[in-house]
C-alpha cells in the first residue's frame, strides 16, 4: 500500500511498518487521553461545544462524564471577543465571505479584503498610520514590527541597530523574538534559545499600584520611569537601539496598569532623541478594548498628539472568528521604505489572508456602525465604578485598575502592606474555581508582582483576575460580573484571612 496515496482516506486508523510496507490495524481510542497537544497533557480539558443565551455564554462539556455547563465568558477567552461569540450577523455571511475569497500569496498578488481593511483601519487613526499589514497572531505581529524597525534603520543607512528595549513584567507573545522582548516565568527555562540579554535590555515595569511610593506624585512616578528608560538607552549604546516596545495598557502579566499622564509622550521624545522607533503593543488592550479606536488616543494617559511609529494589534480585530493580527505603520516608516528599497522585507504564506481580512473588515465595520467602542467606554466606566464600590470594604481586594472594559482586581492578603498570598495557596486557581462555580469565566493569573526561581522551583508573587467582555456587553452583564467578583472575593476573605 502506498502511504502517500491512501493517507488522507485512512484518518482514525494507525499504521505499523512491517517488512517495508504499511499495514493497517484498528486504533483503540483512549477516552481519557488528551489527543490535542495543548495546555494540559495529563488530563483532558473541558470542551466548548457551542454558545448559549446571547452568545457570550459558552456551553462547556466534560469529555469524561458528558456533563454540560453554561458559563458567561467575562474575559472573551483572552480578551478576544469584540463581538459576542456566535455573532449571527457575521456568521450568517461566512459562506458568502468564503465564496468571495481566494487564497493569494502576498508576493504575487494583493487582495481587495486586505487592502480595504488596511484602509479602514488607517482611516480610524487620525492620520497616525498610512499602512497596515496582517498576520495570524499577536506574536507574529510583534516579530514583524521588530523586523520593520530594523529595516527602517537599514533604509536610512543605519545598519547597526539591533537592540529592542522593553519592560519587565510584560507579555508580547510566545515566538522567539516576541518572548525575548517579553518577560515571562517560563523565559529562564528557554533562555538559551532566545535573543541574548544584550539584544533585549529591560526597563522598569509599569505598576503604579506597587511602585508609586507613598507621597510620590504621578508626575514623579512618570519621571522615575522615563529616567530609567533614558538610562537604559545610554547604558546600552543608543546608536544600537532599533526600537522600544511597550504595551500601552499592561495586559496579562500585570493586569491592566494604566500609564501615568505624560509617560507615553516622554517615551516617544526619548526614542526620537536617540533615533529609535516607539512601538506600541496594543494586541490585548487596543482597537476599542480600552474605549478608543487605538488606546494611545486616550485623552487621559495617551499620546497628546500623533501616534507611535509602529503599533501591533490582534485579538479583537477578527473577534475570535478568524485568526487575525497585524501592524499599523506610521508614514515615517512607510516613506523610508518607499524612498529606499521600495520593498517590505519578509513574507509568510498567510500574510493578508483573504478570508480572514474579509471577516475582519465585516467585524470592524459592525463595531463602528453599532458604536460599540462608545459602549465599552460607557459601560466600562460603570463597571469599574461599581466594582470599586462593591469591593470598598473587601480586605483582599488590593487594587481595581484598568481602562475601558479591560479591568483587573489584584488580590492581597493585607491591604495596608500590599502583601500577597503565598504562592503555595495558588490563588489564581482559587479565583478560577470560585468564579467558575458562579458560572463566569475570567483570566486568573499568578505573578503580577514578579517571579523568581528558588532552589530551581518557580515562585510567583501576586495574583490578579481580569475581565474583558465583548464590546456590546450591557449594564446587566456588568452587574452580573461585579456580583460574581464581589461574592468571590468576600468568600476568599472569609476563608483565607
Ligand atoms: C500584549 C500582547 N502582545 C502579544 C500577545 C501575543 O498574541 P498571540 O497570543 O495572538 O500570539 C498577547 C497575547 O495575549 C498580548 O497580550
Residue range 302-315: mean pLDDT, rounded: 98
Length of the chain: 497
Query: Beta strands 443-446 and 57-61: pairing type?
Result: unpaired
Fold of 94-369: 3.40.640
- Alpha-carbon dihedral of residues 132, 135, 136, 140, nearest 10 degrees? -110
* Ligand 1 atom 7, closest CA: 138
Top pLDDT among 128 and 11 is at 128
Phi-psi label, residue 476: left if phi above 0, alpha if psi -120 to 50, beta otherwise = alpha
User: How is the chain split among helix, strand and coil, in percent rounded to 5?
Assistant: 40, 20, 45
Question: Ligand 1 center to residue 260 CA distance, Å?
Answer: 23
The position carrying cell 478570508 is: 355
Cell digits of residue 482: 461585579
* DSSP secondary structure letters along 315-332: GGGGTTTS--EEEEE-HH
pLDDT, tens digit, for every residue of 345-390? 999 999 999 999 999 999 999 999 999 999 999 999 999 999 999 9
- The preferred substitution site among 314, 323, 360, 448 for testing ligand 1, maximizing ligand atoms within 8 Å of CB, is 314
> Which residues lie across from 73 on neighbouring strands?
441
Alpha carbons 47 and 59: distance in angstroms, whole number? 8
Do 51 and 289 meet the contact criterion of CB atoms below 8 Å apart? no
pLDDT of residue 26: 57
Ligand 1 atom nearest to 136, measured from its CA: 10
Contact 73, 45 (CB under 8 A): no
Question: Binning pLDDT at 50, 70 and 90, where does residue 89 land?
Answer: very high
Q: Where are the domains of the chain?
A: 1-30, 94-369, 372-496
Asked if 94-369 and 372-496 have one fold, the answer is no
Cβ of 395 below 6 Å from ligand 1: no
Nearest residue to 63 via CA among 32, 99, 98? 32
Cell of 230: 533614558
* pLDDT tens, position by position, 141-173: 999 999 999 999 999 999 999 999 999 999 999
Q: What is the pLDDT of residue 34?
A: 84
3-class state of residue 444 by DSSP: strand
SS3 category, 431? helix
Q: What contacts 138, CB < 8 A, 6 or more positions away?
A: 172, 173, 178, 281, 283, 284, 312, 313, 314, 315, 325
Instruction: Tell me, in angstroms, the distance from the centre of ligand 1 to residue 469's CA.
Output: 17
278 CA from centroid of ligand 1 (Å): 18
Model confidence at 101: pLDDT above 50:
yes
Q: Domain 372-496: give its CATH code.
A: 3.90.1150.10
- Report the C-alpha gap between 205 and 254 in whole angstroms: 9
| Edge-to-edge strand list for the sheet holding 131-135 | 131-135, 325-329, 310-313, 277-281, 241-247, 163-167, 202-203
3-state secondary structure of 36: coil
The conformation of residue 34, written as its DSSP 8-state character, comes to -
Amino acid at each position: 500500500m502506498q502511504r502517500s496515496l491512501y493517507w488522507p482516506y485512512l484518518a482514525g486508523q494507525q499504521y505499523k511498518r512491517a517488512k517495508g510496507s504499511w499495514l493497517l490495524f484498528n486504533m483503540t481510542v483512549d477516552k481519557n487521553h488528551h489527543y490535542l497537544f495543548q495546555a494540559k497533557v495529563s488530563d483532558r480539558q473541558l470542551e466548548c461545544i457551542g454558545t448559549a443565551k446571547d452568545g457570550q455564554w459558552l456551553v462547556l462539556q466534560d469529555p469524561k462524564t458528558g456533563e454540560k455547563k453554561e458559563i458567561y465568558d467575562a474575559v472573551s477567552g483572552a480578551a478576544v471577543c469584540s463581538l459576542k461569540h456566535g455573532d449571527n450577523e457575521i456568521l450568517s455571511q461566512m459562506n458568502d465571505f468564503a465564496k468571495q475569497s481566494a487564497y493569494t500569496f502576498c508576493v504575487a498578488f494583493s487582495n481587495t479584503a486586505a487592502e480595504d481593511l488596511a484602509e479602514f483601519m488607517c482611516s480610524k487613526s487620525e492620520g497616525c498610520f498610512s499602512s497596515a499589514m496582517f498576520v495570524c497572531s499577536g506574536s507574529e505581529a510583534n516579530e514583524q514590527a521588530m523586523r520593520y524597525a530594523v529595516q527602517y534603520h537599514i533604509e536610512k543607512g543605519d545598519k547597526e541597530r539591533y537592540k529592542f528595549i522593553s519592560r519587565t513584567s510584560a507579555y508580547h507573545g510566545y515566538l522567539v523574538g516576541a518572548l525575548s522582548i517579553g518577560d515571562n516565568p517560563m523565559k529562564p527555562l528557554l533562555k538559551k534559545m532566545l535573543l541574548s540579554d544584550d539584544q533585549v535590555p529591560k526597563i522598569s515595569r509599569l505598576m503604579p499600584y506597587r511602585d508609586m511610593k507613598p507621597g510620590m506624585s504621578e508626575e514623579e512616578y512618570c519621571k522615575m520611569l522615563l529616567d530609567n528608560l533614558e538610562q537604559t538607552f545610554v547604558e546600552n549604546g543608543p546608536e544600537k537601539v532599533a526600537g522600544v516596545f511597550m504595551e500601552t495598557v499592561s495586559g496579562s502579566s500585570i493586569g491592566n496598569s494604566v500609564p501615568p499622564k505624560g509617560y507615553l509622550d516622554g517615551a516617544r521624545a526619548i526614542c526620537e532623541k536617540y533615533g529609535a522607533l516607539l512601538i506600541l503593543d496594543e494586541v490585548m488592550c487596543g482597537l476599542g478594548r480600552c474605549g478608543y479606536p487605538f488606546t494611545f488616543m486616550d485623552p487621559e494617559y495617551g499620546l497628546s498628539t500623533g501616534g507611535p511609529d509602529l503599533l501591533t494589534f490582534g485579538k479583537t480585530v477578527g473577534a475570535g472568528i478568524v485568526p487575525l493580527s497585524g501592524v499599523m505603520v506610521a508614514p515615517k516608516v512607510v516613506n523610508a521604505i518607499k524612498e529606499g528599497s521600495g520593498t517590505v522585507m519578509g513574507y509568510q504564506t498567510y500574510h493578508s489572508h483573504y478570508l480572514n481580512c474579509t471577516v475582519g473588515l465585516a467585524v470592524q465595520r459592525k463595531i463602528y456602525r453599532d458604536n460599540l467602542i462608545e459602549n465599552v467606554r460607557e459601560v466600562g466606566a460603570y463597571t469599574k465604578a461599581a466594582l470599586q464600590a462593591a469591593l470598598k470594604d473587601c480586605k483582599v481586594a488590593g487594587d481595581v485598575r484598568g481602562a475601558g472594559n479591560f479591568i483587573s482586581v489584584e488580590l492581597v492578603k493585607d491591604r495596608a502592606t500590599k502583601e500577597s498570598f503565598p504562592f503555595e495557596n495558588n490563588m489564581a486557581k482559587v479565583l478560577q474555581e470560585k468564579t467558575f462555580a458562579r458560572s463566569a469565566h475570567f483570566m486568573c493569573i499568578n505573578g503580577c508582582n514578579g517571579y523568581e526561581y528558588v532552589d530551581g522551583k518557580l515562585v510567583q508573587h501576586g495574583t490578579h483576575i481580569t475581565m474583558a467582555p465583548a464590546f456590546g456587553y450591557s449594564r446587566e452583564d456588568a452587574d452580573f460580573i461585579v456580583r460574581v467578583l464581589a461574592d468571590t472575593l468576600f468568600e476568599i476573605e472569609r476563608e483565607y484571612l
